[in-house]
Amino acid sequence: MGGGEIVGFLGPNGAGKTTTMRILAGFMPPTSGTVRVAGFDLLSQSLEARRHIGYLPETVPLYRDMTVHSYLHFAATIRGLKGSRRNHRIREVISLCRIEDYARTQIAKLSKGYRQLVGIAQAIVHEPRVLILDEPTIGIDPRQVVQIRQLIQHLGREHTIILSSHILPEVSMICEKVMVMNEGKVVAVDYPENLLNGLEKIQRIEIEAQGPPEQAIQKLRQIEGVQSVTAANTAETVLFRVECTPGRDYRGQLADVVVRSGLTLLGLKAREMSLEDIFLKLTIKKQE
């Protein structure tokens, strides 16, 4: 893995994301293979390697009876920071994670979202080269999810970030690279766009219109690249589902044909294959 990248681990529950992250963080030893972090082997040079890792486990490791500040102070100390540099870094991460107002609050009294932010703060306090975040946005209210995503993207400029999630849009939004996992194995590794292109054999377009469909169906089928057209009548409108060979934008031409066939065009949208579809496809293919 290169530096300064954000890689997302994607997979259904029980796919082995957490286990992989624990291994990468040095919490569990791998049963086979080696992990090297910043040039240090995680088993034989464990302490040096761990100095370069920031880790936020799925259950945020917080001491509930401590205040945010004293907790970060402890986290910084066991990561080897001391003196004025420690105090400086604590102030820095508190303002970066926007938890200034809660620095003197007992962690037990914080909401889930703020606990997550404190968890991220403890993971970055020693400026690790590699940041491992296990489900960083799980169970938080949407406003804070946005804040945490922005924070992660911001951190991605200086740190290499590995994050896991089972929320697909999140991964496609934040991550530059996606690793899809299922049943303990990596099913696919690629950039989100490539994943899309590779699997997309058909481009689906839906057209909603008003009027008699027969003539339109005939004309639509004649367009080059169109593979099939189906029409479904609802109470007042017709819904055409057009499947085309990917490679160009059909929308203009389709709209034109519908209008010329004497129908009133109400709506038209290209249904792109989302990461959800890819995800399902990859994980189901695996099961077969």
Partner 1 sequence: MRNTLAIAGRELRVYFSTPSSYLIIAVFLFVCGYGFGWSRTTFLETSLQGFLGWGAFFLLFLGPALTMRLLAEEEKLGTIELLLTAPVRDVEVVIGKYLAGLGVMSIMLALTLYYPVLLAWFGDPDWGPIAGGYLGFFLLGAVFLSMGLFASSLTSSQIAAYMVGSALVLSIWFVGHAAAALGDTAAEFLRRISVSTYFPAFGRGVIDSNAILYYVSIICVFIFLTVRSLESRRWR
* CB of residue 50 to partner 1, shortest distance in Å: 4
Among 5, 19, 35, 66, binds partner 1 (CB under 8 A): 66
Q: Which residue do the tokens 């491992």 mark?
A: 132
Q: How far apart are CA 37 and CA 46, in angstroms?
A: 9
* CB of residue 182 to partner 1, shortest distance in Å: 24
List the one residue out of 160, 86, 155 whose CA is nearest residue 125: 86
Q: How far apart are CA 223 and CA 149, in angstroms?
A: 43
Among 4, 29, 212, 262, binds partner 1 (CB under 8 A): 29
Q: Which is nearer to partner 1, 89 or 177 (CB)?
A: 89
Q: How far apart are CA 245 and CA 193, in angstroms?
A: 18
Q: Which is nearer to partner 1, 74 or 191 (CB)?
A: 74
Question: Is 89 among the residues that bind partner 1 (CB under 8 A)?
Answer: no
The DSSP line for 51-88 is HTEEEE-SS----TTSBHHHHHHHHHHHTT--HHHHHH
Chain centre distance of CA 189: 13
- Token duo for residue 50: 């761990």
For the beta carbon of residue 221, count every other beta carbon within 10 angstroms.
13
Among 65, 100, 141, 214, binds partner 1 (CB under 8 A): 65
Quick note: the x/- pattern for partner 1 over 104-143, rule CB under 8 A, is ------------------x---------------------
List the one residue out of 157, 158, 150 whose CA is nearest residue 174: 150
Pairing assessment for the beta strands 130-134 and 53-56 based on DSSP bridges = parallel
Q: How far apart are CA 79 and CA 113, in angstroms?
A: 24
- Token duo for residue 110: 């914080």
Residues 38-57 that bind partner 1 (CB under 8 A): 47-48, 50-51, 53, 55, 57
Q: Which range binds partner 1 by CB under 8 A, 19-27, 87-95, 210-218, 260-268?
A: 19-27
Q: Which range binds partner 1 by CB under 8 A, 6-14, 27-35, 91-99, 257-265?
A: 27-35
**SS3 breakdown of the chain: % helix, strand, coil, rounded to 5?**
40, 25, 35
Total number of residues that touch partner 1 (CB under 8 A): 30
Q: Characterize 149-160 residue by residue with b for buried, 16 or more Cβ atoms within 10 angstroms of its Cβ, and e for exposed.
A: bebbeebbeebb
Q: Which is nearer to partner 1, 60 or 238 (CB)?
A: 60
Question: Is 63 among the residues that bind partner 1 (CB under 8 A)?
Answer: yes
Question: Is 64 among the residues that bind partner 1 (CB under 8 A)?
Answer: yes
Residues 69-88 that bind partner 1 (CB under 8 A): 70, 74-75, 77-80, 82
* CB of residue 246 to partner 1, shortest distance in Å: 45
Q: Which range binds partner 1 by CB under 8 A, 1-9, 22-30, 110-118, 178-186?
A: 22-30
Which residues contribute to the site for partner 1 (CB under 8 A)?
22, 25-29, 47-48, 50-51, 53, 55, 57, 59-66, 70, 74-75, 77-80, 82, 122
